Amino acid sequence: MRHWITKHPLVTYFLLAYGITWVLLSPLVLQQWRVIGIIVPPVWSGIGALGPITAAFLTATLSGGKAAIADLISGMTRWRVGLLGWGLALSPVLLFLVALGVLPLLGQPFPDPARLSSSAVGAPWLFAGLLASVVYGIGEEPGWRGFALPRLQRRWNALLATTVLTGLWACWHAPFFVYRFQFGPGEVIGFVTSLYAGALWLTFVYQVTGGSTLVTMIWHMLWNAVIAVGMVLSPLLAAILSTLMIIIGVLVIFIGKPGSLAGSVPRVVYPKETATLPVPTARRTSSGQPSSIAR
């Protein structure tokens, strides 16, 4: 079994990430379907964040041992990323301010900040949204960017790796569509489009910071937070934020180029090294033994 996991770490990771999250969120789904009669508190949704990070550490332990664990932790604690890196981490705040500035251009008034403290409208929803922002930023990024992305980039360029990751990331959200999101086909398309744009941007951030999962975690937390605040203040504000992110995703493709999505910055592969070309497979000598092993 361990030999199979060592040969298929990505398959193992995604199966575990899906399985852990879906099992943990099943009480909320069963409640929504009225299969169970107990009331599951909404804050239970935060436990679903344990899926990606737990799957990453389990798979790293089984497939790569201490070296893989050290690599994972290294990305999560890589804070020396310069002013650019920290600027990228905090960029959702800037996007929020830009979105506020767009409202008057659309003939809309600035939203009333009092909605954030309204017990009837904003406060409960905002608290749940901010809590989810923190736990999902911490729980998701070590899996998607810290574990999966550098391994996907061993096989494909950054654009294709990010596209594959987005599809699998979107499917991971399946339970959320059941108990939290009331989405029709149009909303699902919009959600996946925004998710893809965010994934493109996060790949860019990950490459530029040399594989700092910490920066992507902070960005993810802040992005979810500004979306939560935007939804309470004005749904239009949240829509503007999503539109800005889609525009940024398109710019990443055309300016960053498919190879690394970060221009001349080479993509980060696993182990944390850089490669501008696909990693070659090992060649075998006449004796059948490998002459070189691709890292």
Report whether pLDDT(140) > 90: yes
Residue with structure tokens 């905002």? 126
pLDDT in tens, 60-112: 999 999 999 999 999 999 999 999 999 999 999 999 999 999 999 999 999 88
Distance from C-alpha of 203 to C-alpha of 270, rounded to nearest angstrom: 14
Residue 279 scores a pLDDT above 50: no
List 268's β-bridge partners, or say none: 274
Range with lowest mean pLDDT among 40-54, 61-75, 189-203, 245-259: 40-54
Which of the two residues, 232 and 199, has the higher pLDDT score? Answer: 199
Calculate the average pLDDT of the chain: 88
Among the listed residues 141, 83, 146, 143, the one whose alpha carbon sits nearest the alpha carbon of residue 272: 146
Is the pLDDT at 209 greater than 80? The verdict is yes
Structural domain contains residue 183: yes
Calpha distance 128→240 (Å, rounded): 22
Query: Would you say residue 178 lies in a domain?
Result: yes
Mean pLDDT, to the nearest integer, of 170-196? 85
Q: How far apart are CA 13 and CA 200, in angstroms?
A: 21
Would 204 be classed as within a structural domain? yes
- In this prediction, residue 225 carries a pLDDT of 92
Helix axes 9-32, 50-76, angle to 10 degrees: 140
Residues 270, 271, 277, 280, CA torsion sign: negative
Residue 285 pLDDT > 70, yes or no? Answer: no
List the single range of 1-10, 28-37, 226-235 with lowest mean pLDDT: 28-37
Angle of the 213-233 helix axis to the 235-256 helix axis, nearest 10 = 150
Domain count, the chain: 1
Distances 198 to 46, 103, 121, 270 between C-alpha atoms, Å: 20, 22, 28, 22
What is the pLDDT at residue 176? Answer: 84
| pLDDT of amino acid 102 | 96
Which residues are within 8 A (CB) of 215 and not within 5 positions of it... i.e. 6 or more apart?
78, 81, 85, 86, 88, 89, 205, 206, 209
Nearest to 95 by CA among 228, 227, 256: 227
In a domain, 291, yes or no: no
**3-class secondary-structure state, position 77:** coil
Yes or no: say if 217 and 81 are a contact pair by the CB < 8 Å rule: no
- Mean pLDDT is lowest, of 49-53, 192-196, 237-241, 263-267, for 263-267
One-letter amino acid for residue 115 of the chain? R
Look at residue 287 and give its three-state secondary structure. Answer: coil
Q: What is the pTM of this model?
A: 0.88
Helix (H, G, I), strand (E, B) or coil at 39: coil
pLDDT at 166 over 90: yes
Q: Which two tokens stand for residue 168?
A: 């699998």
Asked if the structure places residue 10 within a domain, the reply is: no
Local confidence band at 153 (pLDDT 50, 70, 90 cut-offs): very high
* Domain-embedded: residue 287: no
pLDDT number for residue 293: 28
Rounded CA-CA distance 242/128 in Å is 20
DSSP state of 150: H
Quote the DSSP letter at residue 180.
T
- Please tell me what DSSP assigns to residue 36: S
Is pLDDT above 60 for 283?
A: no
Is residue 143 predicted with pLDDT exceeding 50?
yes
Residue 269 is assigned to a structural domain of this protein: yes
259 — pLDDT class (breaks 50, 70, 90):
very high
Tell me what pLDDT residue 295 has: 28
Neighbours of 97 (CB within 10 A): 10
- 237 CB-near residues (< 8 Å, 6+ apart): 99, 100, 103, 111, 230, 231
In a domain, 50, yes or no: no
pLDDT computed for residue 133 by the predictor: 86
Q: Quote the domain boundaries for residue 175.
A: 81-275
Which token pair is 47? 């436990």
pLDDT (0 to 100) of residue 123? 61
Whether 121 has a pLDDT exceeding 60, the answer reads no
